[in-house]
Amino acid sequence: MVGRNTRIAIVGGGMGGLTAAIALTKITGVQVTVFEQASRLGEVGAGVTIAPNAARVLDRLGVLDRIRSVGAVPDGHGVYLDAMGGMVTDAAWEDTAKQYQNIGMYRPDLIDALASAVDPHIVHLGHRLKSVEQRGAGVHLTFENGAEEDFDAVIGADGIHSVVRAAVDQHPDPVYSGYIVYRGVMDASRLPDDWPMISQVWMGNSRHFMAYPLQQRKLFNFVAGIPSDRPLNGPWSGPAEVSELAAEFSGDGWDPRLQHFICRIDKTFWWGLFDHEPLSNWSRGPITLLGDAAHTMLPHQGQGVSQAIEDSMALATFLAAAEDVSDIPEAFRRYTAVRMQRTAILQNGSRRAGAMFDAQYEFQNLAKRDADIRVGRDFRRGAVFDYDAQKVAEQALGRFRKVQYA
């Protein structure tokens, strides 16, 4: 079995990379080294959702309690609203068994919680990857700071601009969605005392606005999707004026409650929304991909981070079944085969969800949009939230073994 003599590098110390480090250490016992290009572990100060399917994984990895302690579990179901605040449907952000619920997380808090479960000695900061080269049965990494090191295998968790991805001959062009988002967090004390501690989504007029609590309800996250033709040849993000955001949701066509929320915001930033088409392959020999490096998706289903967490559990499960280092390429192929289909469905589903929120294409018929959102609620609970990444990987291992020994 692979174990303490097996050296695996994870490129990227974000949420996916740190979860992979936890999973590989706990489940396989291999020597893990995490390389992060930044000088310290951290994330942009905005919110992210840990969905029930990801919470299930984090529970088994022993880190869910500390994540819950710094996150925010909502008071109940969220709501989808039309532009004027009329109810379209509730949003059941929980699995069927009601064991796991959505957790709103401030990104820096999530990074800190995951990092606290990782031996700090295995994390190497200030290491921006320059090149990845397969040498014999192993992999040689070169960094811009001059460091070089050899490993038995490498996992690329280095995001949409992944350097590792080029080593598996995948060069997808980022696809601009035609939308930017205004994002940020605000102190919850700025809101009325009776403001509901749930997720709320207002939809209409080719744009939408989402808000939900973070950090034990001390903060509120907000995300507003706006169509934009601004040139994005340079930076994909930057500071923005709150007045720009307010103007997008002004007038009689929008809920006064939403306008009240926006007028309490003191700071915001904009991001261009990009994804890429599903890849044809994630792995090549002892090199594989995880998270955004493998399946960048739009944020409209709240599954980006959760899919990286699922990836981590599946990858660790397949690696744990490898007899020795020579079996790692096959473990990576099996991992890729199982994970590619699920994430491709969710990549495309995230695009479709954005079109529904913004009444685009066939969803310009608001009755159809609202009906589809209601149907999607129950589908999401069964197909997305009830998904058990570890169980699916173990079942796949059984099928692979039957084929191998047939």
Hey, what are 296's tokens?
A: 């960048």
Q: What are phi and psi of 193, to 5 degrees?
A: -60, -30
Please state the φ and ψ torsions of residue 377, each to the nearest 5 degrees.
-60, -50
Angle at the Cα of 130 from the Cα atoms of 118 and 294, rounded to 5 degrees: 60
CA angle at residue 176 from 172 to 182, to 5 degrees? 130
> Taking the CB of residue 99, how many other CB atoms lie within 10 A of it?
11
- Using pLDDT thresholds of 50, 70 and 90, give the confidence band for residue 380: confident
* CA–CA separation, 299 and 306 (whole Å): 11
∠ CA 57-59-65, nearest 5°, is: 140
Quick one: DSSP state of residue 172? P
The predicted model gives 348-368 an average pLDDT of 83
Q: What is the pLDDT of residues 259-298, one digit of tens each?
A: 999 999 999 999 999 999 999 999 999 999 999 999 999 9
DSSP string, 23-63: HHHHHT--EEEEE-SSSS----S-EEEE-HHHHHHHHHTT-
Q: Are 105 and 218 in contact (CB under 8 A)?
A: no
Neighbours of 31 (CB within 10 A): 18
Tell me, which fold does domain 7-174+276-405 have in CATH? Answer: FAD/NAD(P)-binding domain (3.50.50)
Would you state the pLDDT for residue 233? 65
* Residue 89 β-bridge partners: 80
What is the C-alpha separation between 190 and 207, in angstroms, rounded? Answer: 24
Share of the chain above pLDDT 90, in %: 78
Q: Tell me which amino acid residue 178 is.
A: G
pLDDT score for 394: 96
> What's the CA gap between 229 and 179, in Å, rounded?
8
**pLDDT recorded at residue 403:** 64
Which tokens sit at 34? 């995490």
297 pairs with which residues across the strands?
none
pTM above 0.85, yes or no: yes
Choose the catalytic residue: 80, 100, 182, 212: 212
What average pLDDT score do residues 148-167 get? 96
Q: Is 361 one of the catalytic residues?
A: no
Which whole number is the average pLDDT over 132-150? 96
Residue range 28-72, pLDDT digits in tens: 999 999 999 998 887 667 899 999 999 999 999 999 999 999 999
